[in-house]
Structure 1
Amino acid sequence: MKKIKELMDLSGRTALVTGGAGYIGHAFCDALAENGANVAVLDIDGLRAEETADAVASEYGVKTMGLGVDLADTPAVVAVPAKVAEALGGLDILVNCAGFVGTSKLSGWVTEFEEQSVDTWRAALETNLTAPFALIQAATPLLRASGHGSVVNIGSTYGVVGPDMSLYEGTAMGNPAAYGASKGGLTQLTRWLATVLGPDNIRVNCISPGGVARGQDPKFVERYVTRTPLKRMGTEEDMKGALLYLASDLSAYVTGQNLLVDGGWTAW
């Protein structure tokens, strides 16, 4: 029987993390590299992707690469797995972390439902749902060849439950319909793929984070913390263990699951 250290060891494996230059994405890259994986960092900001890849390589002594890709560009997206395999020797782990969260200049995002834009809805679904579908599809031959392929999609508590809009009153924050719908779709895609790709020894799971502290309006933070059983918002560090569990052989008999890392938010 293998020891825990052996089950969590990712030496010789290669991971691709979308949104890898972001807060949670960078933490994921660190967790994977710390346990021996080579890491490809994909981000819409190519310079930040390369900087993150360089930092991870320097810190953990693994092979890395940075890729600047817009997830709305489907031809560019589907070309990524082959590029990663060519540069790093294969692809064993795919983490779909990138998300459309309102940083776009498109209008009709954080506003009343009647004013939410169909164009922005489509943009959110393109990044949060269509791009993971296309990327997983393109990566499937490599994940199958791996023999222990693992896909980890990053959802959200708002893909599981509806929003409490009172949290946002008196702030510039909001909770658009497209965000929850796209994350809910990603969670269901996870289940669908788990059953279809299971015979190929490819596991597909989801992590759904709750709110992560990042300098939000104090009124929102106070309300959020009050409503959370653990009485705090999450941190990027809180997500690392969940990712390592699902990416490694620690979860070799786990597929089709959605792990909520939310301080108990959805337990009420």
Structure 2
Amino acid sequence: MSEQVFDPVFNVAGKTVVLTGGCGLIGRAIVEALHQRGAKLVIADVEAADPEAFAASFGDSCIGVPTDVADANSVAQLLSKTLEHFGQVDVLINNHHAKPKGFLEGQAENFPEELWDHVLDVNLKGTFLTCRDFGSQMLKQGAGSVINMASTYGVVSSNPALYEDNQMGNPVAYSASKGGVIMLTQYLGCYWASRGVRVNCITPHGVWNHHEEAFENRFSAMSPMKRMMKAEEIVGSVLYLASDASSYSTGSNVLVEGGWTAW
């Protein structure tokens, strides 16, 4: 692991941060950055991702908790283990999302109901459940920051031309779920604002993950920056919202999408 760093502006040292989807591509970049800056981490992910083994590589300041965010009992257990181990929760980062088998192939006119339910259960209901339970704890503490991961496809519609001649796609359920996450963020951000709990979201887009060349080329041609996003480029916005640097920000959506929604 990288050496510890002190960041006087985006200071998260000593903060207890709970991160769902912590074993994924973006999650790992966030974990590394927060660990470097002295945060105490609770890495939550599905059991198959083995968050306990991943957390163990960061030492005693980090624990892993297998979690199904779509299950209220599992979310309650995550909160209980967080408080048992660290005594409080300062930051919640909802970085989970569902991409079940057949997810990319479904068209709006024939999208399977079971896939719709699964995606909405994880992406939207799961975000609601974690916000509800951890937000309640933050209200008791009188302070806290919730960061939800949204998507450009919760802001604007996907362009079908992006998915021609490649194996990628953007199903209707994903857009609907992420649009819901943004509105949930705005609602809670205003509802809890006067009680010390801030709720914001981040919108990344096109995070490179060894995509097929045809898709990467088409994405780059359509992006103002002419390239895909690197996972570590999410870190700056996370540090801003997790730290006191964003003390007057709530209900906002920080766009980290290379200008995709600006034209």
TM-score, normalized by length of structure 1?
Answer: 0.91
- Distance in 2, Cα, partners of 1:5 & 1:112: 46
What is the alpha-carbon distance in structure 2 between the residues aligned to residue 160 and residue 108 of structure 1? 20
| CA distance in 2 between partners of 1:121 and 1:46 (Å) | 22
User: Whole-Å Cα distance in 2 between the matches of residues 111 and 121 of structure 1?
Assistant: 10
Secondary structure of 1:40's match?
A: strand
Structure 1 residue 83: Cα displacement: 1.4
1:86-141 deviations in whole A, cap 9, x for unaligned? 112210000000101x2x23x46522222211111111111001011111111123
- Indicate which of 122, 129, 143 corresponds to 2:138: 143
Secondary structure (helix, strand or coil) at the match of 2:192 reads: helix
Cα deviation, residue 38, structure 1: 0.2
Of 97, 105, 110, which residue of structure 1 is paired with 2:95?
97
Residue range with higher mean Cα deviation, 178-187 or 210-219: 210-219
- Provide the C-alpha distance between the structure 1 equivalents of 2:246 and 2:210, rounded to a whole number of angstroms: 33
Aligned to 1:159: 154
Q: How far, CA to CA, are the matches of 1:131 and 1:123 in structure 2?
A: 10
Task: Give every structure 1 segment of 4 or more consecutive aligned residues whose post-TM-superposition deviation is greater than 4 Å.
Answer: none
> Aligned residues, how many?
258
How many angstroms does 1:79 deviate by? 2.5
Structure 2 residue matching 1:191: 3-state secondary structure: helix
Tell me the distance in 1 between the aligned counterparts of 2:148 and 2:49.
24
Contact 1:204 1:255 in 2 (8 A): yes
Contact 1:207 1:242 in 2 (8 A): yes
Query: What residue in structure 2 maps to residue 127 of structure 1?
Result: 122
Shift of 1:55: 2.3
Structure 1 unaligned spans of 5+: none
**Equivalences for residues 222-233 of structure 1 within 5 A:** 222-233=217-228
Equivalent residue number for residue 267 of structure 1: 262
Query: Conserved in 2, the CA contact under 8 Å of 1:187 and 1:258?
Result: yes
Task: Give the Cα–Cα distance (whole angstroms) in 2 for the partners of residues 165 and 233 of structure 1.
Answer: 17
Match of 2:54 among 34, 37, 52: 52
8 Å contact kept, 2:16–2:90? yes
5 Å-filtered alignment, 1:1-268, equals 5-45=7-47, 48-57=50-59, 63-100=61-98, 102=99, 104-105=100-101, 107=102, 109-268=104-263
1:184–1:49 distance in 2 versus 1, CA, 3 Å: same
The SS at the match of 2:199 is strand
In structure 2, list runs of 5 or more residues that go unmatched: 1-5
1:65 corresponds to which letter in structure 2?
A: I
- After superposition, give the CA deviation of every residue in 1:7-26 in whole Å (9 maximum; x if it has no partner): 42222210000000111011
